[in-house]
Amino acid sequence: MAHVAQEKWSSGTAFLLAAIGSAVGLGNIYRFPYVVGENGGGAFVLLYLGIVIVFGIPLVMTELTIGRRKQVPPITAYTQLSDGKKSQPFWKFVGFSSVLTPLGILGFYFVIAGWTLNYVYSIITGKLSNLVEGQTQQVFADLTSSPGTLIFWMTLSLAITAFIISRGIKAGLEKAVNILMPMLFLILVLLVIYSAFNGGMAETFEFMFTPDFDKINMKTLLEATGQAFFSLSLGSATMLVYGSYLPKDTSIPKLACGVAFADTFVALIAGFAIFPIIFANGLELDSGPNLVFVTLPVIFDQMPFGQVFGILFFLLLAFAAITSTISLFEPAVSNLEERGIFSRKKASLVVGTGLWCLAALSALSMNVLSDVRLLTFNDTVADKNFMDLLEYMSANGMMLVNALFAAIFLGYIVHRKDALEELGLGDSLLFKFWRGIIKVVVPIVIGYLLIDFLGYGFI
């Protein structure tokens, strides 16, 4: 098999920007605020922070290490690192499953990325202006019930992503994050300032940082872990692939902390951009997924300069989404290219076409196919349409499985020396602590969550 040599990031900073771009996405700006809202604020935030520190950072280190050790894409990495072991075919399969998972995520993520682009357009063209009560609900319902409109905007977000990927690491991914990430940060800062002038900052502080421990139970633990894994781009080959492009002279522990810190910071800041104006308008935070696409547009419509800031807000979401979709698209392309099966351009086209079909089905499951149920034998999933099922299986189930096996792989299968050399921490207490976490704590906790995922839990 012809193995094609991989391009590398030009520096640690280039990696950092791309990895933060991957981590910061719809998960931070669209999902985190409403999950915090639904779970009662401070206690959830505290739990989330604990999970990021205890599991998140060690797992990001784990995946980057597996990726960088041989500097090859995930399937090859798992195969090479388990060379000589009887269990090698199983690990090859884990590599394969890690590469498939982000494709499942993209099957619904492109649709939501399409909504954000549609909202930018709708505000610019005045479709979200001078609304009367309840009208944003209608605008959103009109969007989700129109197959053509949904598919059009989904296709646009897919085409932008495939175009960036087809240009390669330096000319494509690096260039895109170099432009999009600074804009993303700038817009976020502008929005927080805008919110600070217009709204309830004090209430936001109180809501976000006063924990009410009664609100913590096993269900919140599950939600917070799922949210943290999704937000840190774990269990989905992204960190394996981005790690494989990482130059050897960079420090994995430092970069992993940088990614986790920036990701969490942006999630919190997103709360500070959104909550104050919600509080100031006397609205509730428990509207779930409707928070961003139904509640916020009403407020932007009523506030001074709301149209400008509304456009900025949905552009922010769109930029955050695109820097994540490229990281979800890259693993499959990287494998196909390395194996010499397709050139990068062809691989982008082929993967893009397959994904288009998947995402189109998601889009249709919100309208013409909304009554179709695929899995009816299990109570947890029986009532989910295609898009919800895809989200549940990939973002909740497969991500956890892949992250669990990555930890077991590096903890028990790969030689200790490999991790020792790659992490550069020496045989220190920190190194031993990290190993303890991935060998013992991660398998116990994820194992428990998976039992619950399968519907046999005690939660």
**What 3-state class would DSSP assign to 232?**
coil
Please state, in angstroms and rounded to a whole number, the distance separating the CA atoms of residues 273 and 188. Answer: 7
CA–CA separation, 325 and 91 (whole Å): 26
In residues, how long is the chain? 459
What's the min distance (Å) between Cβ of 260 and ligand PHE? 11
**Residues 383 and 371: beta-carbon distance below 8 Å:** no
Q: What is the spatial distance between Cα 13 and Cα 288, in angstroms, rounded to a whole number?
A: 35
DSSP 8-state symbol, 223: H
| Distance from C-alpha of 432 to C-alpha of 190, rounded to nearest angstrom | 42
Cα distance from N-terminal residue to C-terminal residue, the chain: 48
Give 1: exposed, middle or buried? Use CB within 10 Å, 0-12, 13-18, 19+.
Answer: exposed
Using CB under 6 A as the binding rule, whether residue 297 contacts ligand PHE is answered as no
CB 142 to ligand PHE: min, Å: 25
Query: How many Å apart are CA 95 and CA 93, to the nearest integer?
Result: 5
Residue whose CB is less far from ligand PHE, 128 or 328: 328
The 228-247 site mask, x for binding ligand PHE (CB under 6 A), equals --xx-x--x-x---------
For position 74 contacting ligand PHE by CB under 6 A, the verdict is no
Minimum separation from the CB atom of position 60 to ligand PHE (A)? 11
In whole angstroms, the minimum distance from the beta carbon of 116 to ligand PHE comes to 12
The least CB distance from residue 137 to ligand PHE, in Å, is: 25
Q: Directed axis angle between helix 416-423 and helix 252-280, to 10°?
A: 70
Residue 116 backbone dihedrals phi, psi, to 5 degrees:
-65, -40
Cβ closer to ligand PHE: 235 or 310?
Answer: 235
The binding track of 15-34 with respect to ligand PHE, each residue x by CB under 6 A or -, is: -------xx-xxxx------
In the bound state with ligand PHE, the residue whose beta carbon lies nearer, of 72 and 317, is 317
Interface residues for ligand PHE in 427-456 (CB under 6 A)? none
Q: Which is nearer to ligand PHE, 44 or 279 (CB)?
A: 44
For every residue of 292-313, DSSP letters joined together read IIIIHHHHHHHSTTHHHHHHHH
Cα-Cα-Cα-Cα dihedral sign, residues 131, 132, 137, 141: negative
Contact 316, 191 (CB under 8 A): yes
User: At closest approach, how far in Å is the CB of 28 from ligand PHE?
Assistant: 5
Q: Which stretch binds ligand PHE (CB under 6 A): 47-55, 61-69, 321-329, 345-353?
A: 321-329
Q: Supply the minimum distance, in Å, between the C-beta of residue 203 and ligand PHE.
A: 26
Number of residues counted as binding ligand PHE (CB under 6 A): 16
d(CA 423, CA 409): 16
Q: How far is the CB of 409 from ligand PHE (least distance, A)?
A: 18
| Structure token pair of residue 189 | 């800062």
User: Of residues 322-361, which lie at the interface with ligand PHE (CB under 6 A)?
Assistant: 324, 327-328
Q: How far apart are CA 227 and CA 35, in angstroms?
A: 9
User: By CB under 6 A, which span of 34-42, 176-184, 226-234, 357-365 interacts with ligand PHE?
Assistant: 226-234
Query: What are the structure tokens assigned to 12, written together?
Result: 């640690």
Considering beta carbons, is residue 200 or 352 the nearer one to ligand PHE?
A: 352
CB 134 → ligand PHE: shortest distance, Å?
Answer: 29
Residue closer to ligand PHE (CB basis): 200 or 397 = 397
Nearer to ligand PHE, 59 or 425 (CB): 59
In angstroms, what is the minimal distance from the CB of 188 to ligand PHE?
A: 14
* Region at 237 (left for phi over 0; alpha for psi -120 to 50; beta for the rest): left
Give the integer Cα–Cα distance in Å for 51 and 58.
Answer: 10
With respect to ligand PHE, which residue has the nearer C-beta, 24 or 299? 24
Q: Are 43 and 213 in contact (CB under 8 A)?
A: yes
Name the residues that contact ligand PHE, by CB under 6 A.
Answer: 22-23, 25-28, 102, 105, 230-231, 233, 236, 238, 324, 327-328
